[in-house]
């Protein structure tokens, strides 16, 4: 094990991972060497960041321009009462380092936008989008495709959550735009602020998002490429739906019209 360069502390910390044949010392080393960007330190970002940190992901980037508010604490379990009015990135960083001081946490106290997206995404291996709006989801999809990064994208509203992985830069996989060509008209779909969200749902979907990110890094199991998982908390039903590549997709189709990140209307 020591030829993989682990310290005694790391061998003890990650013992339950190293014992799993699908992870082992080699897999744990992959996690420690990996760099994951998490967009949004909110409901999904909370469990996602905590589990990635606990799992030993070596470098974690967090981008969020919000400060912690009292109404966040019903579901955003990475933040605490003491951190109200503190930047979410700082609050999340503290919680991460409390769990695992070995993690290199890089914080961006800004909104993920067409101006910074390419620069920031380029610094990471994989991106997990836990944002709460369509503009960010489309931007994350487009920039990940153009920069050849895998995207694990999730969303929650009321009592239902959805999650999928996108690696359209590899082979014939679909992207988010193959499923949703463009954002719905403003106001058609309510936000969590308007419609509400069941707090513990953020915990379950954010945790599944962490699982999928870790599986992508380790290269184990079946990825959620070309599948959408939908979890309905009220019926306790989880469905896995096949999704197909759209050859006319504006981004990853045979004649793409989106070939660079600009101030596109879909990102607003």
For Zn ion, the binding residue among 143, 146, 178, 214 (CB under 5 A) is: 178
71 or 248: CB nearest Zn ion: 248
33 or 172: CB nearest Zn ion: 172
| Minimum CB–partner distance for residue 22 and Zn ion (Å) | 30
DSSP 8-state code for residue 14: T
Question: Is residue 249 near Zn ion by the rule CB under 5 A?
Answer: yes
Question: Is residue 39 near Zn ion by the rule CB under 5 A?
Answer: no
Which among 13-21, 28-36, 173-181, 191-199 is the span making contact with Zn ion, rule CB under 5 A?
A: 173-181
| Minimum CB–partner distance for residue 9 and Zn ion (Å) | 43
- Pairing relationship of beta strands 160-166 and 227-232 according to DSSP bridges: antiparallel
| Minimum CB–partner distance for residue 227 and Zn ion (Å) | 15
Tokens at 244, concatenated: 């197909």
Question: Is residue 252 near Zn ion by the rule CB under 5 A?
Answer: yes
Q: What residue spans of 56-124 are helical by DSSP H? A: 88-99, 117-122
Which among 26-34, 47-55, 56-64, 167-175 is the span making contact with Zn ion, rule CB under 5 A?
A: 167-175
For Zn ion, the binding residue among 134, 177, 179, 205 (CB under 5 A) is: 177
- Measured N-to-C along each axis, helices 199-218 and 24-33 cross at an angle, to the nearest 10 degrees, of 110
> Distance (Å, rounded) from C-alpha 246 to C-alpha 237?
28
Radius of gyration of the chain (CA): 18
Question: Is residue 144 near Zn ion by the rule CB under 5 A?
Answer: no
Question: Is residue 163 near Zn ion by the rule CB under 5 A?
Answer: no
Give yes or no for a contact between 46 and 76, defined as CB atoms under 8 angstroms apart: yes
Cβ neighbours of residue 230 closer than 8 Å, sequence gap 6 or more: 160, 161, 162, 238, 239, 240, 241
| Minimum CB–partner distance for residue 178 and Zn ion (Å) | 4
Tokens at 115, concatenated: 């101006």
CB-nearest residue to Zn ion: 249
Enumerate binding residues for Zn ion (CB under 5 A).
175, 177-178, 249, 251-252
């Amino acid at each position: 094990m020591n030829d993989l360069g682990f310290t005694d502390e790391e061998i003890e910390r990650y013992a339950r991972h190293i014992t799993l044949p699908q992870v082992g010392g080699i897999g744990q080393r992959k996690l420690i060497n990996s760099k994951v960007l998490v967009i949004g330190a909110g409901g999904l970002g909370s469990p996602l960041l905590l589990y990635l940190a606990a799992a030993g992901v070596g470098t974690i980037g967090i981008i969020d321009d919000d400060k912690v508010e009292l109404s966040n604490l019903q579901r955003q379990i990475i933040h605490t009462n003491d951190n109200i009015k503190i930047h979410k990135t700082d609050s999340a960083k503290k919680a991460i380092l409390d769990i695992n001081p070995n993690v290199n946490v890089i914080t961006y106290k800004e909104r993920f936008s067409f101006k910074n997206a390419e620069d920031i995404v380029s610094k990471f291996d994989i991106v997990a989008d836990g944002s709460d709006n369509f503009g960010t989801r489309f931007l994350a999809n487009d920039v990940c495709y153009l920069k050849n990064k895998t995207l694990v994208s999730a969303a929650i509203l009321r009592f239902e959550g959805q999650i999928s992985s996108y690696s359209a830069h590899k082979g014939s996989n679909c992207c988010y735009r193959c499923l949703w060509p463009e954002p719905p008209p403003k106001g058609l779909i309510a936000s969590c602020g308007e419609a509400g969200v069941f707090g513990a749902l953020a915990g379950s979907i954010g945790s599944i998002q962490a699982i999928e990110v870790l599986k992508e890094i380790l290269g184990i199991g079946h990825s959620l490429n070309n599948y959408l998982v939908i979890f309905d908390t009220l019926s306790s039903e989880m469905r896995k739906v096949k999704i197909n590549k759209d050859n006319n997709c504006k981004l990853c189709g045979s004649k793409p019209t989106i070939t660079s990140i600009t101030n596109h209307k879909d990102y607003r």
